[in-house]
Homo-oligomer: A and B are copies of this chain.
Amino acid sequence: MAESPRRAAGRRLQLPLLCLLLQGATAILFAVFVRYNHETDAALWHWGNHSNADNEFYFRYPSFQDVHVMVFVGFGFLMAFLQRYGFSSLGFTFLLAAFALQWSTLIQGFLHTRHGSHICVGVESMINADFCAGAVLISFGAVLGKAGPAQLLLLALLETLLFGVNEFVLLSLLGVKDAGGSMTIHTFGAYFGLVLSRVLYRPQLEKSKHRQGSVYHSDLFAMIGTIFLWVFWPSFNSAPTTLGDGQHRTVLHTYYSLTASTLSTFALSALVGEHGRLDMVHIQNAALAGGVVVGTAGEMMLTPFGALAAGFLAGTVSTLGYKFFTPILEAKFKVQDTCGVHNLHGMPGVLGALLGVLVARLATHEAYGEGLDSVFPLIAAGQRTATSQAMHQLFGLLVTLMFASVGGGLGGLLLRLPFLDSPPDSQCYEDRVYWEVPGELEDEAQGPLRVEEPVTQA
């Protein structure tokens, strides 16, 4: 039974009140804890009589900007492939990422970069905050169209916290290397979202089936996201690595890995397609798997050939995943993965973590020379062997899968709280539930859209 309009309207206050509450809370925490670091503070920077050219800003800001474009333009448009969910895909990406940037500044600051009782911020903390926003958006992709914005904000609140903890355990406690986040971002975000989607399983989702696909133009909008992600992914993987050869080498690997995943995606998509036709879903997503798969090993001495081989494998696995595994995931495992994050971020992320295990295992003083200290400081310092580093890398993957699963489960329970506003099964993938949608132009082509008062889950 549909609830009364008055009660429904009351639930609509959840989003604005939550926004105001969260913004108020982060603002107070910023006032108490967040300070300039020595490169953004006028007095501290000029104290040391540095050359302006030494400011970290000039080494990392161009990469940061590319990452920023990926998070907001890339993820936003990539998820705008749904025919009636473009406003929500772009708008909620915008909202979730904006909140995650603030909140993860606090979480990551408390855990990693605290100086005394203060969190000191600059371009590096901005990159890390954007990375966390990326993980949140990956999870969002798994439940795209099936959760309301207030639910999603709560989810971001929880996920940012767990992201920070997992990252802390891996990078600070275990000494794992994962610059481009095959584990901390892609594996974590994907499995968090998949478990979440499992908990939120909707048996009646076929009521919204007619809105679940794309239309011609929405696929072109999605390609804006795909191509910007593809082009800027070298900056993503290299943004937080050590300067000099580290950033340079990571860019090179990501560049070549992506070309190989693109070629394998086209090959496989045509091979498995009806009449040899290509599928836009594959091209939009699987072609990016080459960026995910070198997220861990990208800063290591993977070699250009290694990058090609890894990208090829990732594109292949990802395309086959869309074709064969996604239907099984829904039918057998009751995971409704709207964007196929398992194929783009999940499997390639795990592959990337394993590639990191392999390449770390092969690390030698000869291959890295004096650069070993930048890439594997614990090996260089004699505190670990390459084998031990590889084992730590593998353990990091398991920890990530554990945190992601527990977090996704908790997130699912949180989002099932009955008073939270959630779209009914018949109104999934529909902008009109949350947005004023202009005109009726689009509707005429698709049959009438119900303009009835949207109801929430009982």
- Where the two chains meet, the residues of A that have a C-beta atom closer than 8 Å to any C-beta of B are 8-9, 11-13, 15-17, 19-20, 22-23, 26-27, 30-31, 34-36, 39-47, 50, 52-59, 61-63, 65-66, 68-69, 72-73, 76-77, 80, 83, 86-87, 90-91, 94-95, 98-99, 101-102, 121-123, 126, 149, 213-217, 219-221, 223-224, 227-228, 230-232, 234-235, 243-249, 251-252, 255-256, 258-260, 262-264, 266-268, 270-271, 273-280, 283, 287, 301, 303-305, 308-309, 312, 366-372, 374-375, 434-439, 441-442, 444-446, 453-454
- CA separation between A57 and B126, bound complex, in Å? 21
Asked whether A439 lies within 8 Å of B366 as measured between CB atoms, the reply is: no
Asked whether B59 lies within 8 Å of A249 as measured between CB atoms, the reply is: no
**Nearest B residue to A438, CB-CB:** B214
Asked whether B41 lies within 8 Å of A245 as measured between CB atoms, the reply is: yes
Chain B residues with CB under 8 A of A31: 303, 305
Chain B residues with CB under 8 A of A65: 62, 66, 231-232, 234-235
| Given known A-B contacts A245-B46, A267-B20, A280 and B216 have beta carbons under 8 A apart | no
- CA separation between A372 and B47, bound complex, in Å? 12
Chain B residues with CB under 8 A of A231: 65, 68-69, 72-73
- The 8 Å CB contact of A52, one of B34, B59, B444, is B59
Chain B residues with CB under 8 A of A52: 59, 243-244
Asked whether B16 lies within 8 Å of A270 as measured between CB atoms, the reply is: yes
| Given known A-B contacts A42-B245, A453-B275, A27 and B305 have beta carbons under 8 A apart | yes
Asked whether A371 lies within 8 Å of B46 as measured between CB atoms, the reply is: yes
Chain B residues with CB under 8 A of A276: 9, 11-13, 15-16
Return A250 CB to nearest CB of chain B, in Å: 9
- CA separation between A8 and B276, bound complex, in Å? 9
Chain B residues with CB under 8 A of A232: 65
Chain B residues with CB under 8 A of A246: 42
DSSP class of A's interface residues: helix, strand, loop or mixed?
helix
Q: Can you tell how many copies of this chain the complex includes?
A: 3
Chain B residues with CB under 8 A of A83: 438-439
A50, A274, A369 pick with most chain B CB within 10 angstroms = A369
For the complex of A and B, list the 3 residue pairs with the smallest distance between their C-beta atoms, beginning with the closest.
A12-B276, A43-B369, A42-B371
- CA separation between A52 and B60, bound complex, in Å? 12
Chain B residues with CB under 8 A of A263: 19, 22-23, 95, 98-99, 102
Return A417 CB to nearest CB of chain B, in Å: 18
Chain B residues with CB under 8 A of A126: 251-252, 255
- The 8 Å CB contact of A266, one of B16, B243, B262, B305, is B16
Asked whether B230 lies within 8 Å of A72 as measured between CB atoms, the reply is: yes
Return A436 CB to nearest CB of chain B, in Å: 5
Chain B residues with CB under 8 A of A35: 303-304
Chain B residues with CB under 8 A of A12: 270, 275-277
Return A206 CB to nearest CB of chain B, in Å: 17
Asked whether A280 lies within 8 Å of B436 as measured between CB atoms, the reply is: yes
**Nearest B residue to A223, CB-CB:** B90
Asked whether B273 lies within 8 Å of A436 as measured between CB atoms, the reply is: yes
Asked whether A283 lies within 8 Å of B372 as measured between CB atoms, the reply is: no
Asked whether B436 lies within 8 Å of A262 as measured between CB atoms, the reply is: no
- List 8 A-B pairs, Cβ < 8 Å: A16-B276, A23-B308, A30-B304, A31-B305, A42-B245, A62-B65, A73-B231, A122-B252
Chain B residues with CB under 8 A of A36: 249, 252, 301, 303-304
- CA separation between A301 and B366, bound complex, in Å? 47
A17, A22, A243 pick with most chain B CB within 10 angstroms = A243
- CA separation between A164 and B255, bound complex, in Å? 20
Return A108 CB to nearest CB of chain B, in Å: 14
**Nearest B residue to A34, CB-CB:** B304
**Nearest B residue to A23, CB-CB:** B263
Chain B residues with CB under 8 A of A275: 8-9, 12, 453-454
Asked whether B215 lies within 8 Å of A438 as measured between CB atoms, the reply is: yes
- CA separation between A66 and B68, bound complex, in Å? 12
Chain B residues with CB under 8 A of A453: 275
| Given known A-B contacts A95-B263, A252-B40, A270-B16, A434 and B371 have beta carbons under 8 A apart | no
- The 8 Å CB contact of A40, one of B15, B94, B245, is B245
Asked whether A375 lies within 8 Å of B441 as measured between CB atoms, the reply is: no
Q: A19-B270, A86-B219 are in contact. List 9 more A-B contacts (CB 8 A).
A: A15-B270, A19-B263, A34-B305, A55-B245, A57-B248, A62-B62, A62-B65, A122-B248, A278-B434
